[in-house]
Structure 1
Amino acid sequence: MFWVTNYERQLLSIAYNVLRDWPAAEDCVQESLIKAGLRINQLNPQIVNSHGSRESL
């Protein structure tokens, strides 16, 4: 997914800063991205376009 490649490094950095453990940070981010991916269709279609990025309002 488009938004995964854009935000994965940032999410890993945040998770590592909180957990101070790379494997745990990777697991946390992976689980979060899976949950977000499963629920992306529940987002308001006026806000999120087909690439999963925000449209300007």
Structure 2
Amino acid sequence: MKVTKGFILAIDNLKIDIITNSDNLNSYELGNIKRHARDLYECLVWLQYAAEENEN
């Protein structure tokens, strides 16, 4: 659970950093960040799916 809290905290801090610096980012840079975030999300979906399969 401690590792999970660390990941969640890191994601929350990244979100805060992006929002705080959003005035200094152009649409291309924000789009690039969004693509990486989407890739992370898709990776997490597949990892969760695999974990659920292993539990059954």
Relative CO higher for 1 or 2, CA cutoff 8 Å, sep ≥ 6?
Answer: 1
Report the TM-score range of the alignment, normalised by the length of the smaller protein.
0.3 to 0.5
- Greater gyration radius: 2
